[in-house]
Amino acid sequence: MTPSPTAAGVFALPLASTADIAAGTSWLRFRPPPDTACEPGQFFMLSTVAPSPVAYLGRPFSIGDVRDGEWFFMLRALGRGTAWLRTLELGTMMRLVGPLGVGFARDESKVHRMIAGGIGLAPFLFLARRLRTEQPEAAIELYYGERDARSHIELTADEKELFDTVERFTDDGSLGIAGSVVDGLENRWAEPEVAWYGCGPQPMLRAAAAKLEEHDVDSAQFAFEERMACGFGVCQACIVPNRYPPPRYHLLCTEGPVLEIGKVAW
């Protein structure tokens, strides 16, 4: 099933709750108006309604989960803007622009395999939740790597149920298997009937794409990141080099953020 992008809107919503889940990482929860649908892999631009002295522009965040009609964003403080967003008080009026972009296509497959690096975990809980209901027979697997145990996001019991397999990696071996997700997948790249999904730092995605191509896997959907000013296709900031120009670039916020790896000039 290929998601059709929902028409985006501008929502002014109070920050309903936050929860710390790992070092520098929290869930932000919002109560949207009823019947505002979004698809896994889509994103929102988040800012505060009162202009911020710290971050003028909005910041893009994947829709992290949708439960009981509520929206959850998994936020990691990596710079000025994200650090500030983590300090906001409950009830702060936020502006959410979205849902934006094109998310993951969810074609039938025996196995759905997600590879996540760091905060690249963000879109996968929601993706797994959808796949669970749409394709109950399919196996859903998560391969999730972090720098260390402190950064590692511990899944709740409910979240773990979304996956048939969860394999955890840390660079320093302080939790799960020592080493990278890409190395950890060893000889599983060539397995048949696997739908591949990826999200994480660019070097991880590049390494994973190289492995997949080496094993003649011709389809995999990766969620990419680029600097964004608008998020809805007007500023032309968010370019990703196109493997088959013209045009020379993909516009990530409208053509992505999820792209087939074959479309990208790595």
Ligand X SMILES: Cc1cc2nc3c(=O)[nH]c(=O)nc-3n(C[C@H](O)[C@H](O)[C@H](O)COP(=O)(O)OP(=O)(O)OC[C@H]3O[C@@H](n4cnc5c(N)ncnc54)[C@H](O)[C@@H]3O)c2cc1C
**Burial of 166 by CB count in 10 Å (0-12 exposed, 13-18 middle, 19+ buried)?**
middle
Smallest distance, other proteins to C-beta of residue 85, A: 14
Tokens 């849902």 -> residue: 99
Build a one-symbol-per-residue string for 34-53: x at contacts with other proteins by CB under 8 A, - elsewhere: -------------x---x-x
Q: Of 16, 177, 237, 255, which lies in the binding site for other proteins, with binding defined by CB under 8 A?
A: 237
Tokens of 169: 């990696």
Question: Using the rule CB under 6 A, is 102 a contact of ligand FES?
Answer: no
* The binder of other proteins chosen from 13, 16, 77, 229 (CB under 8 A): 229
Cα–Cα distance measured from residue 169 to residue 177, given in angstroms and rounded to the nearest whole number: 5
Neighbours of 146 (CB within 10 A): 27
In sequence order, which residues have a C-beta less than 8 Å from that of residue 259 and are 6 or more positions away? 221, 222, 224, 240, 250, 252
Answer whether 197's CB lies under 8 Å from 114's CB.
Answer: yes
Residues 26-65 that bind ligand FES (CB under 6 A): none
Q: Tell which one of 159, 226, 255, 260 touches other proteins (CB under 8 A).
A: 226
Q: What angle do CA 210, 240, 257 make, to 5 degrees?
A: 90
Residue 97 interacting entry, from ligand FES, ligand X, other proteins, none, C-beta within 5 to 8 Å by type: other proteins
Q: Does 210 bind other proteins (CB under 8 A)?
A: no
Q: Which does 155 bind (CB under 5 to 8 A by kind): ligand FES, ligand X, other proteins, none?
A: none
If the CB atoms of residues 100 and 217 are measured against ligand X, the closer one turns out to be: 100
Choice between 165 and 236, CB closer to ligand FES: 236
Rule CB under 8 A: say whether 257 interacts with other proteins. no
Contact between residue 21 and residue 47 where contact means Cβ atoms under 8 Å apart: no
> Binding ligand X by CB under 6 A: which of 1, 50, 78, 234?
78
88/237 with CB nearer ligand FES: 237
Q: Binds 248, which of ligand FES, other proteins, ligand X, none (CB < 5 to 8 A, cut-off by type)?
A: other proteins
CB proximity list for 175: less than 8 A, separation 6 or greater: 146, 148, 149, 152, 168
Strand positions, DSSP E, the chain = 9-14, 17-22, 25-30, 43-48, 59-62, 65-67, 70-76, 93-100, 111-117, 139-146, 165-170, 177-178, 194-199, 221-223, 239-241, 249-251, 258-260
Q: List the interface residues with ligand FES, window 230-249 (CB under 6 A).
A: 230-231, 233-238
Interface positions, 174-233, toward ligand FES (CB under 6 A):
228-231, 233
E-strand stretches of 171-252: 177-178, 194-199, 221-223, 239-241, 249-251
Q: In the complex, which residues of this chain contact ligand FES (CB under 6 A)?
A: 228-231, 233-238, 251, 253
Q: In the complex, which residues of this chain contact ligand X (CB under 6 A)?
A: 43, 55, 57, 59-62, 64, 73-76, 78-82, 119, 122, 225-228, 257
